[in-house]
Structure formats: structure tokens, C-alpha cells
Amino acid sequence: MAAYPDWGVTTAPNDEVPIAHSLTGFATAFDFLYVSLSTSRKDKYLKKIRAVTKEMYEFSKIRGWGKQLLQNHQATNILAILTGALVTGVHDDPETMIWKQVAVNCMEKTMFLLNHVVDGSLDEGVAYGSYTAKSITQYVFLAKRHFSIDNTENNWLKQHFWFYYATLLPGFQRTIGIADSNYNWFYGPESQLVFLDSFVLKNGTGNWLAQQIRKHRPKDGPMGESSSHRLTTLHTEYIWYNAQLTPQHPYGFGTSKMHIFSNWGVVTYGAGMPNGQGNTFVSFKSGKLGGRAIYDIVHFKPYSWIDGWKSFNPGHEQPDQNSFTFAPNGQVFVSEALYGPKYSYLNNVLLFAPSPTSQCNEPWEGQLGECEKWLRWMDDEVGETAGEVIAASHHKDMMFVSGEAVSAYSSAMKLKSVYRALLLLNSQTLLVVDHIERQKDSPVNLVSAFFHNLDIDFKYVPYRFIDRYNGALMDVWDAHYKMFWFDHHGKSPVARIQEAEQAAEFKTRWTQFVNITFQMDSTVTRMAYIFHGPYVKLSNCRFIDDSKQGLRLAVNINNTEKIVSIVTNYQDISARLSYLGFGGYAQVEDIHHVTRFGLGTDVVLKQNTVNTTTFNFGFTVNLIAGVILCVAIGFLASQRKFYSCFSKFFRCALITVIILWITELLFVSNNCNQPLCGVKWIRAPTDTDAKQSYSQFFYLPTVVITSLPGSGAEILKHLFYNSSDFIYIRIPTEHLDIPETEFEFDSFVDACEWTKSDVKSGHFKMIQGWFHSIVHNTKLHLQNIQLNEVSGSRLSQRTAVVKDKRKKIRRKEPLLEHKSRGKRSLDRDAEYIRELRRHLSAHQSARVVVSLSSGSWTLKLPFIQEVIGPSTKALYVVRDPRAWIYLMLYNSKPSLYSLRNIPQHLSMAFKEEDNNEKCNSNSRYAPEYESLRRLLSGSESNAVSLLAHLWLANTAASLRINQDLSAMNYLLIKFEDIVQFPQETAEAIHVFLGIPLAPARLNEIIFATSTNLFNLPYEGDISPTNINIWKQNMPRKDIQVIEDICWSVMNQLGYSKFTN
């Protein structure tokens, strides 16, 4: 190779990637063989490595890959420059030092951006992702070895294992083919997996998965390794492998589970399973261009060194928003078309016609960016492509996932919604529903769906279901995999079954697809498709409801009818409750169970069987009573022929009948709950019936968040902020605050407990009215806030009033600086109110989330619950007292203890006043605070002891006071659980709220807790490591004091001792 004048490839003259591969391989081999080479060969090879490295460095200044981050070309080429620079720079050559600096700077930007990607994914897909990850893992190793730069705590690396495991189809041979992909990986992934195990995970799961892939990888055929890739990572796999890490499968292996890639916009179910009947795989894609993190960075511009989409290259992505795959029993039935030109019809998505902006396949148009070899991400509107997974949840062998893809289509088509829902009814049956909503003046009136399969041995053939619906069938060794379709009018058009070949890398790839075209006669069109395997019997399927809010289908599977309800007006939480009876997106009912996706499955209570004995008895009694009455009436008609007292006889007859009826009533009332026992009453169910049957269980939540200040409750904002379901309101701000005319709130804490009886007795009426207004008349409350400009004199007056009113001690500062700071604060708060107004205008059914920053409210939740009503959902956040006290005393200088002047706040809490509403030792006073009051009255208290008693008093009092609240209205959350187990905790919170957790909210809470990129007030970066920093930095004697004082409540909350 040293003799070759040029390492480029003639078929790709403008591509430096082949040169980079050669440089990395040649320089690595030179390093390995260095001691075995003669001096002349060393000089010759070193000269060549230096020349090619310099060439690559010069190319980095002019080629796109020199500035396009998170793309396989850049990672490959920059790593080659770094490798060449390391090999040639052993003598501190100034030029090689520049190469190293440039390469490290570029790769560190890559690692920084990857830390934003919370799910460990790469937007280019698994195949190209393995390409990029090969270079990233090698860089992390070299950076730590040569520059002492440790990236092994990078959150993306911690999650990257799932990018390989949760994308594997059953059998460990094939992966999902999202974006430009092969059937599986380009490079590795055994090398990447053993790296993750040795340096990041250290639990044996990486070694286990690498072992499974080696064991099951085909030796030949389309899923075998290519000859050019086979041995390229063997040396790193050998270097990094740690034999002391015993291969260990991940938790839950062997059970089909759902995995959400919240950044990528991909959901998989049944991944990483062995081949077998019932081991079914489903995937769904609806994501933002470049992935959520990169899309948001491009649009919100937080970093000056990012130049919009010019800093990235999502050209390997496909027009595939709302695409899916289905492999029942591990047999691929619907698959991606893999690597190829960017045409929408090569993906399992929808196309529309006639479109005024069609650029290929006229008059049809698919998703934005199509029609060329690479995705045209710099074209108009393409950069705004933001598919979204709306809902994703599973229960046992059922799964529901849905996505919105309207932003992926040209605005000229005037579409309002392109919503697709997938519902896995069992391991054999998948229901897919498309809901399309368009504007009245939309030019399109046809929609076409495509479903692909790459297996040339198993071709689609036409099929009809119960002589009613058209379909297609795939025969796999006499096992029939079937699909059929129909729209909400019951129409089932004949499909076109086609084949196509397209260019893929340096070869062609064959695909077959079913193409179904529906007429769109109105502004709303709905289509349903059923896909099922051979081990299930379907006997009927039909729409039974087609309303504005959603749809219902009846599907008969194995002689059991299932009612599927899906909300299509998914952004309106009130519409979801009205249609389903709870705040979710879909449910399935049959005679035995009802599954509310996101909440769980409940058993349907059986109706009491008809008691025929009761019916016979009642009928007999009524017959006897009727005979007696008839006889009496007969006597009345012929009374002149008898010489008996008629009135006495008739009186006896009536008494006998009444006694008989009373006896019947008593007997029947204990044995029958129907108007007429034994009679079958039939009535068509209505939407109102469904809603009323669940209304006693589900309310739309009104969320109240409270905690002791410094406990980290602010992190819950990420579950609610910018959500169509909620409007997050923090209290207090300059324009939003609790009225203080009746009770003077302390901004930190007080010792006053309020109960339900205070509401019933009429105490604190103004505060009750404020809560009622902010919760039940939110829009009017926000509109009534005056946001006029504040003059300098008014600002000074307002500041003085607030200062005196809240009794805060401020540090002295120049008057002009104080006024300027106050004006900036008011401006920010005014914009915050405007933002709340805009959000509520866009989402009028959004539920209120009130975050109360004062610790005073932890003792007043029963009062709040009584004011707001049964919809109250109180979230009380507690924190380890050692971490909390460390934050107060040691985390910053000056300490938060001094900045907030906590001793004065505490002294004010126990100050006796003449105001009757103020609590004292005789009224509304939490007795748990008594030990703190005695400590304050003494002269020997220190800060640690004082804060420990405060945490103990507030937490113990809160636990006692709130224990009477229903589990339906009150949830205690440990801050440590939010940070260490964000997904599990977020899911538990949303089950408590009665609303499924949206993948977008999941991404936000994981980002806040795992990336070191989110700061809490006064605290700095949040991560599972940082929240326990007190263990390293806090004096041991202080820890001992805290544990001695707080242990009784710490133990109750599940905290363990750090000291013996």
C-alpha cells in the first residue's frame, strides 16, 4: 500500500471514506508490527502515513464531512486523521499536534451532542449506526489512553446497548431496517458491544449479546457479513474483550417487551427474542428529522457553533414517518425496503394525489425530501419534518402505538392530520388504522398505502376475506400470513401487487409491495388494515362507530368479539375522556376484560345470572293475587244473588292480595336486580353508557406539586411543560401569587396545618377563591392579570411593598442596579404569563399543574384537596435529608442557608401574632415542629442540627397529615427515584394521574435526569452520580448527626444509613 500513489477509489472519486479506512487500517497495522519492522520499512511506512494524514486533514477544511457532525463519514474520517496523527506524532511534530487538536475538538463536539441523545440511538439507523459507533468507540478508547479524556460516563454510551438489543428481530440475525440499512449491521456490532461491557456497563450484557450474534449469524446469504466488513473490527473486539465479565442476558429476557427510543422516534416490541411461535416483532417509526435532540438544537439554537442544518447531514434518513414492520412468529410479513433511493413508496407510508407540488411519480406525492439518492434535507419545509410518537404502551401480549406525520407532507396538500395507530391484539394479529383529516379546500382526493416484503421466496398473492374484503396472502411453507383492508364506509378496493428493483450501494435490491388506493370523499377518511398469522381465526371485522372524536371497530378473533376504541382527536384530553371514559388514547374490550392502554387491564364483572326460581315464585304469587281479585270482582258484579256482607269479603280479598305482594317484593328484592326477573333486557350500548360506567373512577387530573424547598420538585416540570394535556404554572411569580390578606405565607416553610374542616368552616375564603379561580377558570384568571409597563417610581414602590410584606432581608445594592434587576425580572415574568396564555389558547382542555415552591403547602394538602375537589392529584416530593442539607450548607458559596436566611424564616414561623388566622401552639400548629421550636429558643444549635430538625418536623408532619388522603388523590415521590429510575417513576406518576405517559414527556424527564445538561436552582447539574455527591464531600460527623436526628422518618421512607 505504501507504493500506491493514491488510496482513493475510482468509482467514488469525491469520497474520502475509503482513504480513511485504508489509513486507519494501515496505521494500526504499522503500530502493531512496529517492533518487527526494519528501520527502512519504518521510515517508508511512516512517511506514507504522514502524507495521507495530511491529505485527509486538508480535505477536512473543504469537504462537508469536516463540519457535518454525527454522520458516519465524519466519524470515520476524523478518527483516521487522529490515528495517523498519533502514529506519526510520537516526536511531538508541531503539524501532527494541530491534527490531533482538530480531531479531538471535532470528536468532543460529537460526544457532547451525543449526550443529548438520551436513548442511545443514531438517526442513520442500525446499519450506519454501527458504522459510526465503530469509530466513536475507538475514539473514546484512544482519548482516554492518550489524552486522559474520559467519556465513559457519557449517557449515550450508557444507553447504546439498547440500540443493538431492542432492534433485533427474533433469532438474533436481522435488525430493523430504518433509514439506509442492510438486513443487519455494517460493522460489528460485537466490537462495540464488548467495548460497552468492558468500559461502560460492566455487567456482562454486552458480552452476552455479542455471543448471541456470533452464534446465530448466517455464514452466507443476504444476512451474512460482507467480505469487506468481516474482519475490520476483529482486533478491537480482541483488545477490549474482558473475560472476567460473565455473559449475562439483560433483565426480562425471554418475555416480549416494548422499548421506546424517545429521541429517535422508534418503538419496538418483541426484540431480542429467540425464534419461536408466538415470538412476534413489531416496530413503528415517527420521529423528527435528525432525531429529537438534533432537531431541537437546530431550531432553538442553544449553541453558537451550530450553523443550523448545515452542521448536520441526515441524508441517509428515509421518508418513513409513520412506517412500521410486522413479523408474527419471527416471520417477516411487512418489512422496510432497506437501503435505496429516497422514494416514499419504498416505505410503508401513505402517498396522496393529485398534489400540486409533486416532483416525481406525478400526480402522486409522498413525504418531504424524496425523489433522489439521498434525502434532500436542505429543501424547503424538509427541515421542519417532525413526526411524533403520540402514544406507546403494552400490556401482556397487546401493544398500542400511534404517531402523527402531517409535518412530513407538503403544506400545499393542505392536510390537517395524518395519524396512524397500530394495535397488536395478540401475537398473531395486528390492526393498523389510518386517520386522515384534510382542509375543505385540499387539492388531494386519493390516498395510497404501501406494504413491503423483501423475501423473494414468499410472494404476496391476492386473497379475499369472508367474500367481503380484498386482501393479500403470503404462503410460508403452507402457513398462511394474510392481510385485508377496508375504509369507514366498508369499501375494500382491489390492491396492486407489484415488484421493484432499486439501486442500493453498489448493487440492486428487490422488493415486492401491496399498493391499496382509497378515495377520499370527505374531509375525514379512515382506513383499517388487519395483518395476521396462521395460528389465529378471524371471522369478522367492521367499523361500529365513526365519530368526530374517534372510531370503534369490532374484531372477532377465535370466536371472541373484541371492541377496539381509538381516539383520533388525540390532542384534546377532554375528548379522550369523553370517548374512552379515561384520559388515554385507546382501549380494547371483550366479554372478560377491558384494557386501557397506559393504565392496565381490568376484569369485567359478570352480570348476575337470571334466577328462574325467583321468576317462578313471583309469577305464581301474581297469578294467585289476580285470581283473588277476579273472584272479588265477580262477587261485586253478582252481589244481589248472595246473602253475605260484600264489604267484609272485599276487604279480606284486598288484604290477602297486599300480603301476597309484600311477600313477593321482599323475596324478589333479595334475589333479583332487574325490572322483571327472567326477562332478558336488550338495549344498544351508547357512548354515554361507556362514559358513565367509568366516570366514577376517572377524573381529569388537577395536579398540585409540593415539597420542602431544595427537594428538587422543579424537575417534575419536564413531565408537564409544553404538553397539550397540561398547563404548568409555578407559584409564586411576580404576577402569580397566593393572596396574603388572610394568612401571611412564608416563602420557605411554616408550621401551620390546614384541614378539610377549615374549608367547611369558611376559613381563608380568599385563598379558597384564588385556588378555585386558577384551577376552574384558568383562562379568565390569566387574562385578568395586568401586564402594563411599570414606571421607575412604581417599581421602587412595588419592590418596597413586597420587601416589607414578605419580610425578606436583601443585600444592599445600588438603587439603579436594583431597579434594573427588578425590571428585567418583571419583563421575564410578563413574558411567562403571555406564554401561559398562548398555551391555553392552543390547548383549551389542558389540565392545570400548580407547582407550589413554598414548603408551607406540604402541611395543607387536605385543605387544597377539599377546595379543588376529587380531581386533585397531589404530588409530594421528598429528598434524602443528607443530600438536602448538603445542598443547603455545602453546595455553594455563600451557602443557600445564608442566601435564603433560613434562621430568620424559622424564627418567623414561631412568632406569635395577634392575627387570629395565624397558627400557634393552640390552633392549627403541627406538633412535630415543637422540637425545632425548642431548639431555636436555645443558644447551642448549629446549622446541621437545625436543618435536620426542620426536615424531620416538616416530613413527619406531612406524612401524618396526608395519610388520610386517598391513594387516588395523593402520591409521595422520592427525588432519588426520579433521577435514578426516571422512566419507571414517570410511568407510575402518569398511572396515578390516569393519563398514559407520552414518549415526548419520557424523553424530557430522561434528558433532565441523565445528561448533566439540566440544572436545578442553586444545585447545578443533575445526574444519578451527582445526587449522591454528599457521600464524598460531606463531613462524616455531620452525616452522623443527621442520621441520629432523622432516622425514624428516613427508615420509614426507605433510606439506608451511611454511617455505622
Catalytic residues: 73, 128, 339
The continuous run of DSSP H or E covering 251 comes out as none
Within 10 angstroms of residue 86's Cβ, the number of other Cβ atoms is 20
Task: Measure CA 353 to chain center.
Answer: 34
Closest CA to 858 of 764, 757, 961, 767: 961
Within 10 angstroms of residue 965's Cβ, the number of other Cβ atoms is 17
At position 946, the amino acid (one-letter code) is: L
C-alpha cell at 244: 472476567
Helix orientation angle between 999-1010 and 292-300, rounded to the nearest 10 degrees: 80
φ, ψ at 353 (rounded to 5°): -155, 155
Q: Is 833 strand, coil or helix?
A: helix
Extract long-range pairs of 108-112: CB within 8 Å, 24+ residues apart.
108/143, 108/149, 109/69, 109/305, 110/69, 110/70, 110/74, 110/75, 110/136, 110/139, 111/136, 111/140, 111/151, 111/154, 111/156
CA gap 59, 39 in Å, rounded: 30
CA gap 1033, 889 in Å, rounded: 11
Burial class (CB in 10 A: 0-12, 13-18, 19+), 701: buried
Pairing mode, if any, of strands 550-557 and 538-546?
Answer: antiparallel
Helix orientation angle between 72-88 and 17-32, rounded to the nearest 10 degrees: 30
In Å, what is the CA distance from 477 to each residue of 459, 474, 482?
Answer: 12, 10, 14
Residue found under cell 328484592: 669
Task: Measure CA 404 to chain center.
Answer: 15
Please list, residue by residue across 579-610, b when 16 or more beta carbons sit within 10 angstroms of its beta carbon and e when fewer do.
Answer: bbbbbbbbbbbeeeebbbbbbeeeeeeeeeee
Check if the beta carbon of residue 206 is closer than 8 Å to that of residue 159. no
CA gap 391, 424 in Å, rounded: 14
Sequence-distant (6+) residues with CB within 8 A of 891 are 1018, 1019, 1020
CA gap 904, 746 in Å, rounded: 11
Within 10 angstroms of residue 238's Cβ, the number of other Cβ atoms is 10
Q: How many CA atoms lie within 13 A of 1041 on its CB side?
A: 17
Residue found under cell 377549615: 758
Q: Is 539 strand, coil or helix?
A: strand
Task: Measure CA 65 to chain center.
Answer: 32
What residues form DSSP beta bridges with 469?
Answer: 465
CA gap 1037, 1047 in Å, rounded: 15
Pairing mode, if any, of strands 350-353 and 446-453?
Answer: antiparallel
Extract long-range pairs of 249-256: CB within 8 Å, 24+ residues apart.
249/205, 249/208, 250/161, 250/165, 250/205, 250/208, 256/280, 256/397, 256/427
**Angle, CA of 80, 84 and 88, to the nearest 5°:** 175
φ, ψ at 320 (rounded to 5°): -135, 30
Pairing mode, if any, of strands 258-261 and 350-353?
Answer: unpaired
The alpha carbon dihedral of 261, 265, 271, 272 has a sign of negative
Check if the beta carbon of residue 164 is closer than 8 Å to that of residue 172. no
CA gap 242, 197 in Å, rounded: 8
Check if the beta carbon of residue 401 is closer than 8 Å to that of residue 392. yes
C-alpha cell at 921: 401552639
CA gap 908, 430 in Å, rounded: 64
